[in-house]
Amino acid sequence: MMKIVTVVGARPQLVKAAVVSRIIASHDGMEEVLVHTGQHFSGNMSDVFFREMEIPEPKHHLGVHSLPHGAMTGRMLEGIEKVLTDEQPDFLLVYGDTNSTIAGALAARKMFIPVVHVEAGLRSHNMRMPEEINRILTDRISDILCCPTETAVRNLHAEGFERFPCVISRTGDVMQDAAMYYAEKAAGRSGIMKEIGDDPFILCTLHRQENTDDAARLKDILEGLRTVHEKKRVIMPLHPRTAKVTATLGVKVPVNTIDPVGYLDMIELIRHSDLVITDSGGLQKEAFFFGKHCITMRDETEWTELVEHGYNKLSGTTPDGIRGAVEEMSGRESDFNIDLYGQGRAGERIAALLEKASAKS
């Protein structure tokens, strides 16, 4: 029996894990042990995803959160190492680019446990982003690199990964698997649109550290959103980090804010929105999956193919940049029927890679 320890901690990782965990559970020769680091610890940011997406409860919960990067990563590393010592898995599986990701990969690598990185090869080329550091280091110490796009594969080859003892595979993006699987469930189970009402709206999320922890940058973003909200209402599920920072600064979020929402509610918000504005990585793709144009309040993106095909526009963080991007993208028409992310088969491909690697060991 192949044993896989999967480490999750943040909301996007729970969405991705829902896909792969379901595939693993369908294989008789695979056993998964789920570890939740606690990185996102509020009910709306974590627990609700387990309930809605029918993910098995974690066997291990480390409860590590609300700490600086070094302390958080260190405590996660310590906790995951103990779990791996107890469980003795065949593989360690991590998702994305959070502190949970790098902590899991480091713990396994030092114990000579093969590391599988789902969403490998992404690059923003902005080393001021903690996520960029996490993803680069995780890729370098991983044994199986599951790339969501051809661009991600090219990034790894450009960095010389073909010379390293690892497997590089374009599996597609598990986020598309999730979107396709849960869309119907969301339509039947989410009640968020009764709360939102029928008036047209733009969906907005704002949480990335480079935006929230720079007071001048944050105030520029909020001013840009204010001018957009004057013409069409903007609805923002307010991330705990953004709520905390704006309260500390004593500034008002000048749009309609709601509490953080679960994945099914978020799907419905995307589907009913006229446009998406975000600084998230995952939401850029989710907008595409549901046929919505997106504006990204950053200077770069890991999902360059969305920009190249005209589905996404980088606005930067200035008020004029945000306002201008909204004006440009509001009237745009695009054909969203294009295969960029694997057409919903990424989970199956990842499981096949695990079976192949296990057979060789």
Strands (E), 179-274: 202-204, 234-237, 256-258
Alpha-carbon distance 183 to 215, whole Å? 37
Residues 193, 43, 138: CA angle, nearest 5 degrees: 105
User: Which contacts (CB < 8 Å, 24+ apart) does range 210-216 have?
Assistant: 210/126, 210/128, 210/129, 210/298, 211/279, 211/297, 211/298, 211/317, 212/241, 212/242, 212/245, 213/245, 215/249
Polymer length of the chain: 361
- Encoding tokens for residue 251? 């500034």
The pair of three-digit structure tokens given for residue 266, joined into one six-digit string: 């978020």
Are 207 and 279 in contact by the 8 Å Cβ rule? The answer is yes
Q: Which region, left, alpha or beta, applies to residue 89 given φ > 0 means left and ψ of -120 to 50 means alpha? A: beta
From the CB of residue 213, how many other CB atoms can be counted at a distance below 10 Å?
11
Instruction: Give me the catalytic one of 207, 229, 239, 293.
Output: 207
Beta partners for residue 167, in sequence order: 144
Rounded CA-CA distance 145/156 in Å is 9
What SS3 class is residue 114?
coil
Q: Is 36 a catalytic residue?
A: no
| Cα(5)–Cα(92) distance, integer angstroms | 5
Indicate which residues carry an active-site annotation: 207
